């Protein structure tokens, strides 16, 4: 990951105890600062968000700049969580040198697929490339890149293999929404048209569960570390299906054709990730975690099972779109644009990714989302 361009600490090298978030001034969060009121109608919180993101340029509309900044922040968040997965369960090499691996955790992940370590590595590399490109593109158009380094205050896993550095995200207390499993198998309902869906793993929505080992104590008993790996497998999908929806949702608000090209070129890779992880999650073995009672059901048994829910169905079923009177069509869902950025932040928050984060982080994230959702396509 890149180094900070201001006085903030380096992304991967900062010890979480060296600079408490409370000791950082609001000014230290800024890349360069922005004149107050640059995004009309957002008030003090909106001005704070645009200040955090940096100065917009006359060569980009304020809306396009806000959308790119929000996506850069989202990709930084994704890269942070994927790096944690890779340190313990992926491949550590010249591209992804952080961490040293946890063999028992990696073995449990490989129950879902023997190539899972490679896929984790490649997903990590992809997300880092996304935020690096979007930040570089912002700079090329005269806008400041997004910097979240001051918010890297969350602790790392203490399991052997994890790097001991500050994190943006928390993978040790997740509440994972698995309704995507039934949503993408439905031929009659679309969330954009009010459809609601049951979760594939109800237990994951009823508590807080680790998706990486918190300490080496989590490496046994067998069904406990396998439950952690299963949680990770479903969480991979939850994260990537969100990205698959976010890009087309925000693309509808973009003005500049080149910015639109950026979104339309990155967005489909998120869908590729989702489809890959969808396939792997279906291999999660049914079990009950003996330490906390979390149940992973047999997805081939009632209330699922049958032709629509067989585990190897990973391509979207055709469903209703725009109007129920139109023929069913295979699509990404949802893609409704209203409130898409704020919806993404709310979903990540509900996921438990930000447990332990500072008030300033939540304010900044919400304000960046507000600015992106306020963007409108200009003539």
Q: Supply the pLDDT for residue 227.
A: 98
Q: Please, which residues have CB within 8 angstroms of residue 293's CB and are 6 or more apart in sequence?
A: 203
Under DSSP, is residue 113 helix (H, G, I), strand (E, B) or coil? coil
Contact 85, 157 (CB under 8 A): no
pLDDT tens, 171-206?
999 999 999 999 999 999 999 999 999 999 999 999
Confidence at 339, pLDDT banded by 50, 70, 90: very high
Mean pLDDT score of the chain: 87
**pTM for this one?**
0.86
CA dist., res. 251 & res. 27, Å (int): 31
Give the pLDDT band (50/70/90) at residue 300: confident
Average of pLDDT values for 290-302?
94
CA dist 325 to 306, 317, 318, 321, 328, Å? 27, 17, 14, 9, 9
pLDDT for the residue numbered 193? 96
pLDDT at 30: 35
Dump pLDDT digits (tens) for 116-172: 999 999 999 999 999 999 999 999 999 989 999 999 999 999 999 999 999 999 999
Contact 9, 334 (CB under 8 A): no
Confidence of residue 313 (pLDDT cuts 50, 70, 90): confident
Q: Concatenated DSSP letters for 169-232?
A: ---SSB----THHHHTT-SS--GGGT-----SSGGGGSS-B-SS-SSGGGG-SHHHHHHHHHHH
User: Residue 316's closest CA among 305, 325, 308?
Assistant: 308
Of 32 and 340, more confident: 340
Higher pLDDT, 304 or 343: 343
Token couple for 192: 């954009």
Model confidence pLDDT, tens digit, residues 35-75: 222 333 333 333 334 434 444 345 899 999 999 999 999 99
pLDDT band, residue 27 (cuts 50/70/90): very low
Residue 5's pLDDT band (cuts 50, 70, 90): very low
Q: What is the DSSP letter of 322?
A: S
CA distances in angstroms from 242 to 23, 211, 332, 347, 364, listed in the order given: 33, 18, 10, 9, 20
Other Cβ atoms less than 10 A from the Cβ of 308: the count is 12
Q: What is the mean pLDDT of residues 262-275?
A: 97
């Amino acid at each position: 990951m890149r180094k900070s361009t201001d006085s903030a600490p380096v992304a991967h090298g900062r010890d979480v105890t060296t600079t408490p978030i409370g000791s950082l001034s609001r000014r230290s969060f800024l890349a360069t600062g922005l004149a107050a009121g640059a995004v009309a109608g957002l008030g003090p919180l909106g001005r704070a968000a645009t200040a955090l993101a940096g100065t917009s340029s006359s060569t980009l509309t304020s809306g396009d700049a806000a959308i790119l900044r929000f996506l850069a922040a989202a990709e930084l968040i994704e890269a942070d969580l994927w790096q944690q997965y890779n340190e313990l369960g992926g491949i550590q090499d010249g591209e992804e040198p952080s961490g040293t691996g946890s063999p028992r955790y990696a073995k449990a992940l490989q129950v879902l697929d023997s190539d899972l370590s490679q896929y984790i590595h490649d997903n990590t590399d992809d997300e880092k490339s996304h935020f690096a490109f979007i930040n570089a593109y912002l700079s090329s158009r005269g806008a400041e890149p997004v910097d979240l380094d001051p918010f890297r205050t969350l602790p790392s896993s203490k399991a052997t293999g994890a790097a001991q550095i500050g994190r943006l995200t928390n993978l040790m207390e997740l509440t994972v929404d698995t309704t995507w499993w039934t949503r993408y198998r439905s031929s009659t309902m679309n969330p954009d048209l009010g459809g609601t869906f049951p979760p594939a793993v109800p237990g994951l929505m009823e508590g807080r569960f680790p998706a990486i080992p918190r300490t080496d104590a989590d490496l046994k008993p067998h069904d406990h570390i396998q439950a952690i790996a299963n949680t990770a497998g479903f969480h991979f999908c939850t994260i990537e299906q969100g990205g698959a929806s976010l890009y087309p949702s925000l693309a509808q608000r973009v003005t500049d054709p080149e910015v639109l090209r950026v979104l339309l070129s990155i967005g489909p890779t998120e869908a590729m990730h989702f489809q890959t992880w969808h396939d792997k999650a279906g291999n999660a073995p049914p079990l009950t975690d003996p330490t906390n009672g979390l149940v992973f059901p047999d997805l081939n048994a009632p209330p699922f099972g049958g032709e629509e829910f067989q585990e190897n169905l990973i391509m979207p079923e055709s469903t209703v779109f725009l109007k129920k009177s139109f023929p069913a069509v295979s699509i990404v869902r949802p893609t409704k644009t209203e409130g898409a950025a704020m919806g993404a932040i709310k979903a990540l928050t509900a996921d438990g990714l930000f447990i332990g984060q500072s008030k300033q982080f939540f304010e900044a994230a919400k304000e960046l989302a507000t600015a992106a959702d306020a963007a409108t396509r200009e003539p």
